Amino acid sequence: TTIKMGLFGAGGELVEKWEIPTDTTNDGANILKDISEAVHAKLDEKAIDASRVEGIGIGIPGPVNSQGVVNHCVNLGWGVVPVARDLEKLSGFPVMAGNDANVAAMGEAFIGAGKDAESTVMITLGTGVGAGIVIDGKILAGHNGAAGECGHIHVNDDETEACGCGNHGCLEQYASATGIVRMANRMLADSDEASSLRDIDEFTSKDVFDAAKNGDEFAKKVVHEVCEILGKAIAKICNVVNPEMVVIGGGVSNAGDRLTQPLTQKVKKNTFSADEIGIPPILTARCGDDAGIIGAA
Ligand code: ZN
């Protein structure tokens, strides 16, 4: 719906941020042109000479390979688009492109919760579940840009509903904001237990965590279930990546300790480690909505 833009100083400091609407008409053909024009308009407004611009970084909601080529971005209507090359031609600046969840992880790794870590796994719990893996300061993009798709880790063989990706039983179906609500509604339908959630029309994941905080026993069970499923998935990721820390971002991470404490217990229980110190701490993100533009920059 919107393209978040940021002007950064050479040291990575955010000077100004703004947004422009995403024009998805005509299969998103105008998007890169709109971005280039917005960049040049901002330089004019700030009287910044083009010679002082080092380049443009961009995060895109789809798989991006190391050459900056996007391989299908459904939300924008794009097929295979050489984003870095096209935006370089349009803007006249060097361009680096990455996946949006990956650049958000970069943002947290650079100046957020992972600032002092070399290797960070960031998991974003929003409408879906996104993730980015930073190893030794570099994003793990994978062979064709699809590394770190942790939202589609398979966690349930018995799921009947399909995930957005077409598979059944992906992590995203239980641990995203929408997944938590879906699971709570299912558990409510299967139980006659009293819960304050029954009095709320179309409750949100925040309502579930708030109810649990206020002592609602049923909501506590939902939170427990979410943390069991998510914790097991994080433990699997940790067994493969062995990160220094795990950062949880996105709207659901506002639950803070009520999410990270049970997750930490679960991850401790299910992660291989040579010693107790080797289990990565689970922290909440610090850059908020700015993680993406910071990481892209
Ligand atoms: Zn999926």
Q: What pLDDT does 227 receive?
A: 96
Q: What pLDDT does 277 receive?
A: 67
Using one digit for the tens of pLDDT, what is the confidence trace for 36-93?
999 999 999 999 999 999 999 999 988 898 899 998 887 788 999 999 999 999 999 9
Cα of 10 vs centre of ligand 1, distance in Å, is: 38
Q: What pLDDT does 276 receive?
A: 66
User: What pTM does this model have?
Assistant: 0.84
Q: Are 22 and 31 in contact (CB under 8 A)?
A: yes
**Residues with Cβ within 8 Å of residue 293, at least 6 apart in sequence:** 4, 5, 6, 8, 14, 17, 59, 107
Give me 275's structure tokens: 């010693």
**Residues with Cβ within 8 Å of residue 286, at least 6 apart in sequence:** 108, 112, 113
- pLDDT below 50 — which residues of the chain? none
Return d(Cα 72, Cα 80) in angstroms, integer: 5
Cα of 167 vs centre of ligand 1, distance in Å, is: 5
Cα of 63 vs centre of ligand 1, distance in Å, is: 14
Q: Which amino acid is at 90?
A: L
Q: What pLDDT does 115 receive?
A: 87
Cα of 114 vs centre of ligand 1, distance in Å, is: 27
Q: What pLDDT does 12 receive?
A: 86
Cα of 97 vs centre of ligand 1, distance in Å, is: 24
Q: What pLDDT does 128 receive?
A: 87
Question: How far, CA to CA in Å, does 249 sit from each of 132, 159, 176, 182?
Answer: 11, 26, 11, 20
Q: Which amino acid is at 85?
A: R
Return d(Cα 69, Cα 49) in angstroms, integer: 28
Cα of 150 vs centre of ligand 1, distance in Å, is: 9
The conformation of residue 262, written as its DSSP 8-state character, comes to H
Q: Are 122 and 105 in contact (CB under 8 A)?
A: yes
Return d(Cα 178, Cα 83) in angstroms, integer: 30
Q: What pLDDT does 5 receive?
A: 97
Question: How far, CA to CA in Å, does 140 sit from each of 60, 134, 137, 191, 192?
Answer: 15, 6, 10, 43, 46
**Residues with Cβ within 8 Å of residue 208, at least 6 apart in sequence:** 180, 181, 184, 197, 219, 222, 223
Cα of 131 vs centre of ligand 1, distance in Å, is: 13
β-pairing, 2-8 vs 14-21, is antiparallel
Q: Which long-range contacts (CB under 8 A, 24 or more apart) does 29-35 make?
A: 31/3, 31/76, 32/83, 32/86, 32/87, 32/90, 33/90, 34/3, 35/3, 35/5, 35/87, 35/90, 35/91
Cα of 170 vs centre of ligand 1, distance in Å, is: 5
Cα of 168 vs centre of ligand 1, distance in Å, is: 7
Q: What pLDDT does 11 receive?
A: 85
Cα of 126 vs centre of ligand 1, distance in Å, is: 14
- Which helix (H) or strand (E) covers residue 38, if one does? helix 31-46
C-alpha 137, offset from chain centre: 18
Cα of 250 vs centre of ligand 1, distance in Å, is: 18
Q: What pLDDT does 292 receive?
A: 92
| Protein residues placing their CB within 5 Å of the ion ligand 1 | 152, 163, 165, 167, 170
Cα of 233 vs centre of ligand 1, distance in Å, is: 14
Cα of 163 vs centre of ligand 1, distance in Å, is: 5
**Residues with Cβ within 8 Å of residue 228, at least 6 apart in sequence:** 266
Cα of 239 vs centre of ligand 1, distance in Å, is: 21
